[in-house]
Amino acid sequence: MPAGGAGAGNGDREDREDPAMSPTVTDGKLSEVASGDLPFAGEHASRQNATGGPFQTATEIAAGVSKGEFSAREVIEEHLARIAARDGELHAFNEVMSRDALDAADRVDRLVASGEDPGPLAGVPVALKDNLCTRGVPTTCSSRILAGWRPPYDATVVRRVREAGGVIIGKTNMDEFAMGSSTETSAFGPTLNPLDNNRVPGGSSGGSAAAVAAGFASLALGSDTGGSIRQPAAMCGVVGMKPTYGMVSRYGLIAFASSFDQVGPFAQRARDAAMLFEAIAGHDEADSTSLDRPAPSVSSLLGAGVSKLRVGVVSELVDAASADVASRVREAANLLATAGALVDEVSIPMCTYSLSAYYLLAPAEASSNLARYDGVRYGLRVEAPTAEKMTTATRSAGFGDEVKRRIMLGSYALSAGYYDAYYARAQRVRTLILDAFDTAYKRFDVLLAPTSPTTAFEIGSKIDDPLAMYLSDVCTIPSNLAGHPAMSVPFGVGDDGMPVGVQVLAPALAEPVMFQVAVVLEDGAPTAKSRGATASVVPAHAGQGEGTPV
């Protein structure tokens, strides 16, 4: 089913919301979990709380399942019920893998029962962006050209999630081939922001961000080529992280722009993101760009604090943001200073050229990568008398507007006569941007910036103006050009009550210090009334239901 998300049992909706039908209501242990210090306090979760246990954070689920306090099956059934109740409206999923997920949960439960180690992600529901290959399960990139395609192999990250005991719960909607910043370019229709259905969830990994924000999955994987994990994380009020280029295997990630693409985690909290990052990071011989060195341990430093850390606030990126977003970033900087960090402003003028360089380089790589969709080996074919006509007809029918635009832009930038003016120049500007970051990181351990220049915008407001859409990536792109890690942490809300994300940027391989800062930001993030409210605006130790805006 090309667009299976909407078919995820919406007919059961009424029943599912009836407490009597909730699969997890009656277990006393679950109620105990429910009364614990869960950070997720959304409207939806509150309703679930009344009926039983809201399995929310990945660390708590993994701990509870490993100890046998509750079963992985119960966890998965609860999440599937939430999906059934609300995904018809949100469309976070292209495919919900109910049966596979329940089977995987049962396997985890059997390991626990037999006294074996079920792995660090035991029983944790994980959603996958639909550009990660899952053997035998449709993997579409939200494109008509791949609708119904069932890969013959699993991506390395998918295998690693399973090996760690994680339960793959479904494939999430995305901008077609990850080209977009709002999930509106999906061939199967947009995903709605769970906090305000009139707004976009960001993109391109909007389905993964929405799935975590709506409590459909505790963790999710996305891909970040120009901000596609961090920007939707910011817009949905969750944590999203792009690792150092080469840190996570891309074997089985459907390529968009190969010198930028990186797989990374979404989670409710930074410590949960750290857990998933550690499960997927590390060398993979199947990916020739994979770093041949052990992945750094990040969880060991999570509580180390920021004392004496040098933090630079990037003025050009703060200036690029709206006033309310810029204020949150300054407040975040103040918080770090209060916690002992050495905070200063830093100017990196070269950042302002990032967008120009990226929107020539990434489309150029995309035009090459997407040449493989020729109607021969997989996906759509529109028959025609010769191979070239067949390929042209197939691509014209199979690709959506944004993909066609980027292929056009990339082919133009690479074509004879324009190559030097566009592609070659952008490659040199990329060098200048790398140099500028290297200079900045001589003075600072991490940098601070907005994740997105604005909070989530309204559906339809930018889709007809590609340049305006591209500009929403202005704060995230520099890290992709540099290949550096960066992550977005929810930090308060904007004037419209929608979540704001603050971005922590770090030099290559510096994930541990980046997480260290993220945890301090998260723990000190302001409590504020927001629509629907998520983990983003509730301190991690706030009592459930107390002062919880709904």
Q: How many residues does the chain have?
A: 550
Q: Tell me: does residue 381 bind another protein (CB under 8 A).
A: yes
Q: Which of residues 107-126 bind another protein (CB under 8 A)?
A: none
Instruction: Tell me the closest approach of the beta carbon of residue 261 to another protein, in angstroms.
Output: 11
Q: Are strands 263-267 and 239-242 parallel, antiparallel or unpaired?
A: antiparallel
Q: How far is the CB of 92 from another protein (least distance, A)?
A: 17
Report in angstroms how near the CB of residue 215 gets to another protein at its nearest. Answer: 24
Q: Where are the beta strands (DSSP E) in 44-202?
A: 93-96, 125-129, 167-172
Cβ contact 216:92 at 8 Å:
yes
Residue with structure tokens 């060991």? 300
> For residues 499-528, which are near another protein according to CB under 8 A?
508
The residue among 155, 187, 149 whose CA lies nearest residue 378 is 149
Rounded to whole angstroms, the Cα distance separating 375 from 387 reads: 9
Count of residues engaged in binding another protein, rule: CB under 8 A: 99
Distances 44 to 41, 79, 86 between C-alpha atoms, Å: 8, 12, 9
**List 339, 390, 463, 542, residue binding another protein (CB under 8 A):** 390
In the chain, the N- to C-terminal Cα span, in Å, equals: 35
Q: Which of 23, 100, 102, 289 binds another protein (CB under 8 A)?
A: 289
- Considering the complex, what minimum distance in angstroms separates the CB of residue 245 from another protein? 5
Tokens of 459: 């559906």
Catalytic, 249? Answer no
Site string for another protein, 132-171 (x = CB under 8 A): ------------x--xxxxxxx------------------
Indicate which residue of 71, 143, 181, 204 is catalytic: 204
User: Contacts with another protein in 323-362 (CB under 8 A)?
Assistant: 352-353, 355-357, 359-360
Residues 487/447, Cβ–Cβ less than 8 Å: no
Minimum CB distance to another protein smaller for 35 or for 431: 431
Q: Give residue for tokens 């070239």.
A: 388
Q: Does 376 bind another protein (CB under 8 A)?
A: yes
Q: Are 366 and 376 in contact (CB under 8 A)?
A: no
397 to 456, contacts with another protein by CB under 8 A?
A: 397-399, 401, 404-405, 407-412, 414-432, 434
Of the residues 22, 66, 228, 367, which is catalytic?
Answer: 228
Q: Applying CB under 8 A, does 461 fall inside the site for another protein?
A: no
Tell me which residues in 4-63 interact with another protein (CB under 8 A): 6-7, 10
Contact positions with another protein (CB under 8 A) in 167-206: 187
Piece in contact with another protein (CB under 8 A), picked from 28-36, 53-61, 396-404, 512-520: 396-404
Cβ within 8 Å of residue 319, ≥6 positions away: 326
Q: How many CB atoms lie within 10 A of CB 324?
A: 16
Q: Which is nearer to another protein, 215 or 296 (CB)?
A: 296
Closer CB to another protein, residue 113 or residue 408? 408
Shorter beta-carbon distance to another protein: residue 71 or 244: 244
DSSP conformation class of 408: H
Q: Does residue 39 contact residue 269 with C-beta atoms inside 8 Å?
A: yes
Q: Which of 66, 129, 354, 536 is catalytic?
A: 129
In the complex, the smallest distance separating the C-beta of residue 167 from another protein, rounded to whole angstroms, is 24
Q: Is the separation of the CB atoms in 97 and 171 below 8 Å?
A: yes
Q: Which residues ranging from 228 to 287 are in contact with another protein (CB under 8 A)?
A: 245-246, 258-259, 285
Residue 294 binds another protein, judged by CB under 8 A: no
Cα 36 from Cα 75, distance rounded (Å): 16
Catalytic residue status for 356 = no
CB closer to another protein out of 418 and 545 = 418
Q: CA nearest 181: which of 331, 406, 389, 2?
A: 406
- CA dist., res. 236 & res. 488, Å (int): 11
Min CB(378)–another protein separation in Å: 5
3-class SS of residue 199 = strand
Minimum CB separation of residue 478 from another protein in Å reads 12
Paired sense of beta strands 125-129 and 93-96, if any = unpaired
* Of 237 and 398, CB closest to another protein: 398
Closer residue to another protein, CB minimum distance, 327 or 411 = 411
Using CA atoms, how far apart are residues 203 and 222, in angstroms rounded to an integer?
A: 10
204 is catalytic: yes
Choose which of 64, 296, 483, 490 interacts with another protein (CB under 8 A).
483
388 lines the binding site for another protein (CB under 8 A): yes
Q: Can you tell me which of 238, 482, 514, 520 binds another protein, judged by CB under 8 A?
A: 482
The type of residue at 190 is P
Note whether 476 and 187 are within 8 A (CB): no
Catalytic residue ranges: 129, 204, 228
